[in-house]
């Protein structure tokens, strides 16, 4: 019984037709918030205030890139547009954090000294994992036949 309840709870997150756009955005925000809560003590212990600022900036850059990418991928509903959706989403998902990094790196200062590049990499990997699960669930629910 407990195993059945756990499998039903796990399937509800990625079950076909159950991941609405607002739920996708919410799951991404929660995942990145949890990652930020994990990173903040490390940032404070290693770099102080500049580490905190770098972690928050990196989190916001990845969150905004991820939300925009999810929104763009959600606009492609035809099965023939899967590749275009994934490529465009990847460009946005990678482009925004890279642009933030390059702009702050060229300017220099406290944020770069606080380890912005490391926090961008950490939050990017969290975002990539969550978004991959969500996008695969979205497209598998659209292409689901009787075997689902």
Domain boundaries, the chain: 49-140
User: Between 21 and 51, whose confidence is greater?
Assistant: 51
pLDDT reading at 37 higher than 90: yes
Task: Please list, residue by residue across 76-114, b when 16 or more beta carbons sit within 10 angstroms of its beta carbon and e when fewer do.
Answer: beeeeebeebbebbeebbeebbeebbeebeeeeeebbeb
3-state helix, strand, coil split of the chain in percent (to 5) is 85, 0, 15
pLDDT reading at 22 higher than 70: yes
pLDDT band at 143 (very low <50, low <70, confident <90, very high): low
Mean per-residue pLDDT over the chain, rounded: 83
Residues 6 or more apart whose Cβ sits within 8 Å of residue 104: 57, 111, 112, 116
16 DSSP assignment: T
Neighbours of 43 (CB within 10 A): 24
pLDDT digits (tens, 9 = 90+) for 90-142: 899 999 999 999 999 999 889 999 999 999 999 999 999 998 888 777 767 65
Q: How far apart are CA 27 and CA 21, in angstroms?
A: 10
């Amino acid at each position: 019984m407990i195993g059945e309840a756990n499998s039903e709870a796990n399937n509800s997150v990625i079950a076909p037709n159950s991941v609405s756009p607002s739920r996708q955005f919410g799951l991404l925000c929660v995942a990145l918030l949890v990652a930020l809560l994990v990173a903040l003590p490390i940032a404070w212990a290693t770099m102080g205030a500049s580490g905190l600022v770098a972690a928050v900036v990196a989190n916001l850059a990845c969150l905004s890139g991820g939300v925009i990418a999810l929104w763009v991928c959600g606009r492609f509903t035809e099965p023939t547009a899967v590749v275009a959706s994934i490529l465009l989403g990847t460009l946005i998902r990678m482009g925004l954090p890279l642009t933030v990094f390059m702009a702050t790196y060229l300017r220099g200062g406290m944020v770069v000294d606080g380890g912005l590049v490391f926090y961008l990499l950490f939050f990017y990997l969290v975002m990539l994992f969550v978004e991959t699960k969500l996008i695969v669930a979205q497209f598998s629910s659209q292409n689901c036949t009787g075997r689902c």
